[in-house]
Amino acid sequence: MSYYRVFAVKPMRLLLIVNAVVFMIWIFILFTNFNNSEDKTSHIEEYEQKTLALAQSERRIIKLKQSLKNRYPNAIDYIDAHVKRDLPTIYAITPTYARWTQKADLTRLAQTLLHVPNFRWIVVEDSDTKTPLVTRFLKFSGLQYTHLNAKTDINFKLKSTDPNWLLPRGVSQRNEGLRWIRENLPANTDGVLYFLDDDNTYTLQIFEEMRTTEVASAWPVGLSGALKFEGPGKCENGKVLEWYTAWKPERPFPIDMAGFAVHIKLLFQHPKAQYSNSVPRGYLESDFLTGLKLQRQDMEAKANECSEVLVWHTRTEKPKMKHEEALIKQGKSSNSKMEV
């Protein structure tokens, strides 16, 4: 075989092979382009469907707004003023129990809460059933609320003659509120949890302070711990440097229930964390916060670097009712139909 022949045949084969490779690449490109365009079309179709669905929802909202406006002329203004779509919602759990001053305390609190946008009030009655008084009260409160009940176990219930520090209060009710949140809110809810007792005094500023809580936050509480204030005492750059307390300073968190808030996501990260009836006196708050795996240094300092008191641990005086009680005993209350 001469060199020439070999050379003459080989380039032909080479050409064939090159041609075959080019053809395969071309087929490949054609195929992937076809796939891409199929992909593009399906994306466009999906986009068009979603746009249509959105337009339908918008039309439904307009119709709902119109019918709402026909029935309650001021409702839309109220909703627009109170629901701001880009603000995290505050979920506040309030334990409450029947007593002479209950309606007065709830009224004072509700009228503060009416000024707080993006707010849901979770009211949990310490009773076997939802009472007519609280049911009616909430219905006419004008607030966005959830009404629950959970009776305190008889073994943990204070008697009217007991000193109030003997047993922790509001435990079963706060736990019922936590259960509701975990069962009814999506785990990715951008919201803040606060425990709002029914007899304290709250400024509107404190709600705006807690609203920006990323993980957990704390601030001083006035008239707490037998001091002018208790809780974070010295703060810098959003961190708590010193805690101010006189009683049991070794507590993981020397703080009142009204002095902290946590982001809702923590409840889902620690699904078992809740309040306990069997903690030493003063450890209710610390026990809950450590259950969320929080430490003192995790707390974001609020209330202007913890330099202001924006909430007070006030208590309502028990009214003297000896004449009323005597009348009730005789079966002739002042006016049994009057709700007080």
- The residues annotated with a catalytic role in the active site are 285
Q: How far is the CB of 122 from Mn ion (least distance, A)?
A: 17
Instruction: Report if residue 96 touches ligand UGA, rule: CB under 6 A.
Output: yes
Angstrom distance (rounded) from CA 146 to CA 171 = 18
Beta strands in 89-206 (DSSP E): 89-96, 119-125, 145-149, 191-195, 201-202
CB of 276 to Mn ion, least distance (A): 19
- C-alpha distances in Å from residue 117, one per residue of 87, 110, 263: 9, 13, 17
CA distance 124 to 180: 10
Near ligand UGA by CB under 6 A, which window of 26-34, 73-81, 197-205, 302-310?
A: 197-205
Q: Does 105 bind Mn ion (CB under 5 A)?
A: no
DSSP string covering 5-48: HHHHHHHHHHHHHHHHHHHHHHHHHHHHHHHHHHHHHHHHHHHH
The answer to whether 211 contacts ligand UGA (rule: CB under 6 A) is no
CA distances to 221, 244, 254, 258 from 235, rounded to whole Å, are 15, 11, 15, 18
**Torsions phi, psi for 330 (to 5 deg):** -80, 0
Tell me how crowded residue 27 is: count the other CB atoms within 10 A of its CB: 10
The contact pattern for ligand UGA, residues 168-187, with x = CB under 6 A and - = no contact, is xxx--x--------------
Please, which residue, 211 or 313, has the CB nearer to ligand UGA? Answer: 313
Residue 111 or 307 with smaller CB distance to Mn ion: 111
Specify the stretch interacting with ligand UGA by CB under 6 A; choose among 8-16, 78-86, 110-118, 163-171. 163-171
The nearest distance, CB 201 to Mn ion, in angstroms, is: 10
d(CA 131, CA 147): 10
The piece of 104-112, 198-206, 264-272, 285-293 that touches Mn ion (CB under 5 A) is: 198-206
Question: At closest approach, how far in Å is the CB of 289 from ligand UGA?
Answer: 13
Does residue 118 interact with ligand UGA by CB under 6 A?
Answer: no
Using CB under 5 A, pick the residue from 126, 199, 256, 287 that binds Mn ion: 199
The answer to whether 248 contacts ligand UGA (rule: CB under 6 A) is no
Tokens of 173: 């009710």
State which residue, 148 or 241, has the beta carbon closest to ligand UGA: 148
Q: How far apart are CA 116 and CA 114, in angstroms?
A: 6
Beta carbon nearer to ligand UGA, 88 or 95: 95
CA distance 120 to 194: 10
Helix axes 3-71, 75-82, angle to 10 degrees: 130
Helix, strand or coil for residue 153? Answer: coil
Least distance CB 208 / ligand UGA (angstroms) = 21
284 binds ligand UGA (CB under 6 A): yes
What length is written for the chain? 340
Q: Does 209 bind ligand UGA (CB under 6 A)?
A: no
Contact partner, 259, from ligand UGA, Mn ion, none, Cβ < 5-8 Å per class: none
CA distances (Å), origin 136, targets 109, 123, 132:
16, 13, 6
- Binding residue (CB under 6 A) for ligand UGA from 122, 175, 193, 197: 197
| Residue 138 binds ligand UGA (CB under 6 A) | no
129 touches ligand UGA by CB under 6 A: no
- Tell whether residue 158 is a contact of ligand UGA (CB under 6 A): yes
DSSP letter string, 75-87: HHHHHHHH--TTS
**Residue 199 or 287: which CB sits closer to ligand UGA?**
199
Residues that bind Mn ion (CB under 5 A): 197, 199
Residues that bind ligand UGA (CB under 6 A): 94-97, 126, 152, 158, 164, 168-170, 173, 197-199, 256-257, 284, 313, 315
